[in-house]
Amino acid sequence: MAAKRILLIIGGGIAAYKSIELVRLLRKSGHVVRCVLTRAGEQFVTPLTLAALSENKVYTSLFDLKDEVEMGHIQLSREADLVVVAPATADLLAKMAGGQADDLATTLLLATDKPVLAAPAMNVRMWLHAATQRNVAILRGDGVTVLEPDEGEMACGEYGPGRLPEPEAIFAAIEKALTGAPAASLLDGQPDFSEANHRPLHGRRILITAGPTHEPIDPVRYIANRSSGKQGFAIAAAAAEAGAEVLLIAGPVPLPTPPGVIRVDVETAREMAAEVEQGLPVDAAIMVAAVADWRAADTAAQKIKKDGSGAVPPLALAENPDILAGVARSPQRPALLIGFAAETNDVIAHAEAKLARKGCDWIVANDVSADPMGGETNRVHIVTPEGVDSWDRLSKDAVARKLMEKIADELDTRAPPESTHDAD
């Protein structure tokens, strides 16, 4: 089966440990897993364990969604192909049946438009209680797949139905549910335009990185650069206008998300690298972010204080992963991979060297010696193995639109639309 995206909500209960094995099974079959832990779930498994196994960020509260102003919980609940609740406690089932939304897990469950599968786990009396049975009937009536719990000896010493089904059984139920579930589009929930099919990037997936990265030194200080994110956001907007499904992985910038664009906010280069990897495969990737080359080798857990002696604290640096070069080497390398290069001197020569060094197809080079980052215009040179195409100074929006035209033409030659997107 093609890889699918699973949003796994882990409720509180002794059986939560089995969700760890479930994550492992799902990952082993290539599925992408995002975990959400309820407050009670956190008492039984740690976000760290789940993050390591799912290789993904773990969400525990509504406040984890830094982009909540952008309706982050709606995106989280809809970018999945299937929402799985395991273990589903009596309390969670009651809240789901009642349509309550007082924490992240229940909010996601209410906001989702995707199929939901719940694997209950609770004490036998709680399972057999009329209230729980009523809630299960309501949920099934609402279209939720509620698995039957296993029967056996319980952690509390009682015997009967209520045990969480074994991870292999939940996994099998998930695979079955996924067979009938349509793959989630990156743009699910977004308006569909009638003229969409005619737009030049219709049916294309484009990943864009934008903005700076912030590399923490201690809880209050970080290493950063002057990137405003404007050019990357303009490119994301132009790609969406041209009909593409756009995934924008943005460093910390206070810019609004362009319409029709799915945005994931990150802070550090390493977070950006992980989200980029997660976002593949795509038809084209445009790496506009000004990724910090170095991070602090050690991040202090507490604010670094002056000791009064006048001595300066040592700041050892470590090199960050080169995200663009990593994508170029990836087995999932997009058909068209584009890097940006802001240079202050020997712009074309540096860009040509970068093209070869990074293994990308084009470098969009701009001279930032006169007009540093943050301005409204750009004079760019598109450097390719075939030569250099120098454009006049244009607004960043105009650069973005012109670039999209060029990308659409190039993709038509490199990867005709019908040969793409058979897998998610």
Window of 49-57, 113-121, 187-195, 289-297 that interacts with ligand CTP by CB under 6 A:
289-297
**Cβ proximity of 162 and 122 under 8 Å:** yes
Distance CA 186, CA 15 (A): 32
* Minimum distance from residue 206 beta carbon to ligand CTP (Å): 14
Site string for ligand CTP, 204-223 (x = CB under 6 A): -----x--------------
**Cβ proximity of 266 and 226 under 8 Å:** no
* Minimum distance from residue 62 beta carbon to ligand CTP (Å): 31
Site string for ligand CTP, 261-280 (x = CB under 6 A): --------x-----------
* Minimum distance from residue 241 beta carbon to ligand CTP (Å): 22
- Exposed / middle / buried, residue 229 (Cβ in 10 Å: 0-12, 13-18, 19+): buried
Which residue among the candidates 156, 297, 315, 356 is catalytic per the annotation? 156
Q: Is 28 left (phi over 0), alpha (psi -120 to 50) or beta?
A: alpha
- Alpha-helix runs per DSSP H in 99-251: 104-111, 124-128, 130-141, 167-180, 230-241
Distance CA 381, CA 389 (A): 6
Please report whether residue 362 would count as binding ligand CTP according to CB under 6 A.
no
44 annotated to a ligand binding site: no
Distance CA 421, CA 424 (A): 7
* Minimum distance from residue 276 beta carbon to ligand CTP (Å): 8
Compare residues 205 and 354 and give the one whose CB is closer to ligand CTP.
Answer: 354
Site string for ligand CTP, 165-204 (x = CB under 6 A): ----------------------------------------
171 annotated to a ligand binding site: no
Please report whether residue 287 would count as binding ligand CTP according to CB under 6 A.
yes
66 annotated to a ligand binding site: no
Compare residues 116 and 383 and give the one whose CB is closer to ligand CTP.
Answer: 383
Compare residues 79 and 322 and give the one whose CB is closer to ligand CTP.
Answer: 322
Compare residues 85 and 368 and give the one whose CB is closer to ligand CTP.
Answer: 368
**DSSP per residue, 21-50:** HHHHHHHHTT-EEEEEE-TTGGGTS-HHHH
Residues in 312-341 at the binding interface with ligand CTP, rule: CB under 6 A: 320, 322-324, 339-341
Mark whether 360 is an active-site residue: no
402 annotated to a ligand binding site: no
Please report whether residue 407 would count as binding ligand CTP according to CB under 6 A.
no
Compare residues 19 and 366 and give the one whose CB is closer to ligand CTP.
Answer: 366
Do the bridges between strand 336-343 and strand 284-287 make them parallel or antiparallel, or are there none, so unpaired?
A: parallel
Which token pair is 166? Answer: 């074994």
323 annotated to a ligand binding site: yes
**Cβ proximity of 217 and 299 under 8 Å:** yes
**DSSP per residue, 322-368:** -HHHHHHHSTT--SEEEEEEEESSSHHHHHHHHHHHHT-SEEEEEE-
Do the bridges between strand 317-319 and strand 294-296 make them parallel or antiparallel, or are there none, so unpaired?
A: antiparallel
Please report whether residue 227 would count as binding ligand CTP according to CB under 6 A.
no
Please report whether residue 42 would count as binding ligand CTP according to CB under 6 A.
no
The annotation places the binding site for CTP at 293, 303, 321-324, 340, 354, 358
Q: Which residues bind ligand CTP (CB under 6 A)?
A: 209, 269, 287, 289, 291, 293, 320, 322-324, 339-341, 354, 358
- Catalytic residues, which ones? 156
